[in-house]
Structure 1
Amino acid sequence: MTSTKTFVTLGMFIIDEFSYTNFEGETTKASKSEIGGGGTYAAIGARIWLFPDQVGMVVDKGYDFPSKIESKLKTYGEEMWFFRPQNEAPTTRALNLYTGDHRGFEYLTPRIRITPRDLSNTKLDRPKMLHFICSPARAFAILSEAKEQEEWSPITIYEPIPDRCVPEELPALNRVLPLIDILSPNAEEALSLLSIPIVQPVLKSSVEEAANRFLQLGAKDVVIIRSGELGAYVLTRRAGGKWFDPFWTKADTSKIRDVTGAGNSFLGGLSAGLHLANGDVYEAVFYATVSASFVIEQSGLPAFTTGANGSVQWNNDSPLRRLEALKSRRKD
């Protein structure tokens, strides 16, 4: 079966639970379960620009899968999701622990990993772009599996998993760097991998040094370091490095509610942008930036609506309007 998908993520679907404590260890607030998972946010980031039949993700549906969550996912387009029944296992859940500004994360159930073989003979088989979030060693295994499939050479977008962004993982990363089309850690992850001192606020010069180091270590072509309020730094072998500002800046703090999933949605938007901009990665970053802008405006996923005239809006705004505004700002 040949996929019609432009973008598929191997990231997991997770039901997120949240706990907030003070510095004395007392629980101050616990919130309801929400749709989560880096793959989910990446898929939504791509969906902001693409039709649902162009975006794909496996959703492992445990015996306890909430019907309300399934209905919510389907509002973004049923064609996006490949629901895979797990009748004897629970849906993957994780706990996000917040103590002050510190965030912890732990899985509450066993993880069900997704590999390229899981896409075979499904509607997600052999997409044009493949996104994954994992350790360097697992990234190598994913790429090896993908290579086994004939007549499939996807653009690969690799997001290192945060807890493996430590110096000890650098040899494994070096092994996989030449095989990845786009490498994209966030700033602190990049600096940690390379043993570059992390100061707050993060310095642009440190981010640029990290990106150059990844190219020196053998990165195939494109390194994008997502850097929060600094924006994103994009470095390619052919055209050099450029900084891109975020859509919402320090002056727009009222718009920034929760940055969970922003980086994942950025990479989904980047993938959509690569498709729409004929492979121009610098142009694609504008699409990525807009996708992230919608995700950080609330806790959870952005709202999707279709007007009476067929117009599509996210959080009651147009992605195309934001795209034009962002580009015009760049020209100023």
Structure 2
Amino acid sequence: MAARVSAPRRLATLGMFIIDEFQFIDPTTDEDEGDHGLGDNVGGGGTYWTIGARMWLPPSDLSMVIDCGDDFPANVRAALEAYRQSPSTSAKSSESTGTLWRYRPRSDGHGTTRALNIYKGQQRGFKYLTPKIRLDPHDQLYELKLADQMGEDQPPENLEECIAVMKRIDVFSPNHDEAASFLSVHQDRVNLPKTHDGTTPGAAQTVHNVRSSITDLIAARFLALSEPSTATNTPDAEAPLAAMESKRRLGPDGPIVHIRSGALGSLVAHRSLGSKWVGAYHTPQEAKEGVIKDVTGAGNACLGGFSAALSLCEEELVAALGRVGGTAGDTGSGAKDGLELLGRCAAHGSVSAAFVIEQQGLPGMLIAGEDGEEEWWNGSTAASRLERLLAST
């Protein structure tokens, strides 16, 4: 992947910031067990996306709006400010420039958005305790590349709207459950069995089978559904849509499809480049030994890491696509190089997700190294983890 150019790449999210509260209920007696000492946790899809991207980009390259009520906890703000540090700047100087977090007073009379996560055995519930504020592109004052999380529900009746959006964007990245819901694919076809731990005989074949189902039943169908409009298949009323497709940064030949699939890793696919699976960072044995503490936010962190990596290799990817003849499965250098770049982007996402799932809440970050020139996350660098994952792929 080429070195970053001097001009900053600005990424932003329209995802939300939430303060999570917890409630545990005994599944047998229905007794309220409180929050098990967890207290308040920083949450929200936008927050985890930003942290996932932050592992690869300096704070000056990122922006997220946080709507703060009068009750915004000082300790939460202090925790967020730690991520404004980088080897080239301090948290204090970053705050003065408004990078990374853009705190905005909430003007509707409500406090900071809070949500309650309810656990009852294996069942999990979720409800907002404070009205949520959805962000729009105009909330970001800069000319940025925007990343948005999908809505809360992905019923099949929304498929037409989904297809319309896919024809206008460069990257489409649902998780495997969301994608299956859109396409009316049964969840059992795209998920590992509940008894699967990845370390038993036949586990590799099980993973292969489920991955194949996701490739064939989801990714291939999304690529077909997002086939670009042409002069012969576009009614006059949809001509503006065809014009938007032709102006996409990565070209008119459909979006990158990135299916985030938990322990299975993630799948990247493109009509001109083919498809590729990249595994999760933690091995099944590591997972069995308990390295995974809480998967909350992993999908959004994965998307953040993927987005950051894509911004870093965008010029190379555009060049690779320009060398492709335009047919799916093209075996030329353009398709090979382009698919390798997409695989590296997916690997960045896997590493970001791995840092997030190793504890309850957000991962720790500090500036370390002999000369204070390295960012360490949970005791290691993102680059070293990326190297390990790519070596095993």
How far has the Cα of 1:5 moved from its partner?
A: 4.9
2:83 alignment partner, SS class = coil
> Would the aligned equivalents of 1:16 and 1:94 in 2 still touch at CA under 8 Å?
yes
Structure 1 range deviating more: 25-34 or 43-52: 25-34
Alignment of 1:66-81 (within 5 A): 66-77=73-84, 78=95, 79-81=99-101
Structure 1 range deviating more: 196-205 or 29-38: 196-205
Alignment of 1:30-45 (within 5 A): 30=35, 31-45=38-52
Aligned partner letter, 1:325: R
Which residue of 2 is the match for residue 298 of structure 1?
A: 359
Does 1:211 pair with 2:202?
Answer: no
Aligned partner letter, 1:276: L
Does 1:53 pair with 2:60?
Answer: yes
How far has the Cα of 1:252 moved from its partner?
A: 0.7
> Would the aligned equivalents of 2:277 and 2:343 in 1 still touch at CA under 8 Å?
no
1:75 alignment partner, SS class = helix
1:26 to 27, 31, 45: 31
Extract unaligned runs of 5+ from structure 2.
1-6, 85-94, 194-209, 228-253, 318-340
1:313 to 376, 382, 386: 376
> Would the aligned equivalents of 1:191 and 1:206 in 2 still touch at CA under 8 Å?
no
* C-alpha distance 26-171 of structure 1, shift in aligned 2 (>3 A): farther
> Would the aligned equivalents of 1:166 and 1:192 in 2 still touch at CA under 8 Å?
yes
Structure 1 range deviating more: 26-35 or 236-245: 26-35
Aligned partner letter, 2:143: R
Which residue of 2 is the match for residue 117 of structure 1?
A: 138
Alignment of 1:277-296 (within 5 A): 277-278=313-314, 279=317, 280-296=341-357
> Would the aligned equivalents of 1:287 and 1:323 in 2 still touch at CA under 8 Å?
yes
Identity of aligned pairs, percent?
A: 42
Which residue of 2 is the match for residue 250 of structure 1?
A: 284
Which residue of 1 is the match for residue 392 of structure 2?
A: 329
Does 1:131 pair with 2:144?
Answer: no
How far has the Cα of 1:206 moved from its partner?
A: 2.5
How far has the Cα of 1:285 moved from its partner?
A: 1.2
Matches of 1:319 and 1:176 in 2, distance apart? Answer: 32
Aligned partner letter, 2:312: L
> Would the aligned equivalents of 1:57 and 1:81 in 2 still touch at CA under 8 Å?
yes
Structure 1 range deviating more: 164-173 or 10-19: 164-173
> Would the aligned equivalents of 1:196 and 1:206 in 2 still touch at CA under 8 Å?
no
Matches of 2:75 and 2:139 in 1, distance apart? Answer: 26
> Would the aligned equivalents of 2:21 and 2:40 in 1 still touch at CA under 8 Å?
yes
2:305 to 252, 264, 269: 269
**Structure 1 length normalisation: TM-score?**
0.85
How far has the Cα of 1:4 moved from its partner?
A: 5.0
**Structure 2 length normalisation: TM-score?**
0.72
Which residue of 1 is the match for residue 266 of structure 2?
A: 232
Matches of 1:226 and 1:27 in 2, distance apart? Answer: 34
> Would the aligned equivalents of 2:23 and 2:34 in 1 still touch at CA under 8 Å?
yes
User: RMSD of the alignment, in Å?
Assistant: 1.7
> Would the aligned equivalents of 2:12 and 2:140 in 1 still touch at CA under 8 Å?
no
* C-alpha distance 59-319 of structure 1, shift in aligned 2 (>3 A): same
Matches of 2:32 and 2:163 in 1, distance apart? Answer: 42
* C-alpha distance 170-230 of structure 1, shift in aligned 2 (>3 A): same
Name the count of aligned residue pairs: 296
Does 1:201 pair with 2:192?
Answer: yes
CA offset digits 1:147-198 (Å, max 9, x no partner): xxxxxxxxxxxxx23x311112212212212012111111111111110111
Structure 1 range deviating more: 10-19 or 194-203: 194-203
Aligned partner letter, 2:307: S
Matches of 1:5 and 1:56 in 2, distance apart? Answer: 11
Is the radius of gyration larger for structure 1 or structure 2?
2
Does 1:172 pair with 2:161?
Answer: yes
Aligned partner letter, 1:102: Q
Matches of 1:57 and 1:105 in 2, distance apart? Answer: 23
> Would the aligned equivalents of 1:12 and 1:39 in 2 still touch at CA under 8 Å?
yes
Does 1:89 pair with 2:110?
Answer: yes
> Would the aligned equivalents of 1:277 and 1:283 in 2 still touch at CA under 8 Å?
no
CA offset digits 1:203-229 (Å, max 9, x no partner): 223311211111111163211111111
How far has the Cα of 1:249 moved from its partner?
A: 2.1
Runs of 4+, deviation exceeding 3 Å: none
Matches of 1:103 and 1:250 in 2, distance apart? Answer: 24
> Would the aligned equivalents of 2:110 and 2:130 in 1 still touch at CA under 8 Å?
no
Does 1:182 pair with 2:245?
Answer: no
Which residue of 1 is the match for residue 235 of structure 2?
A: none
More strand per residue: 1
Matches of 1:272 and 1:211 in 2, distance apart? Answer: 22
Which residue of 1 is the match for residue 325 of structure 2?
A: none
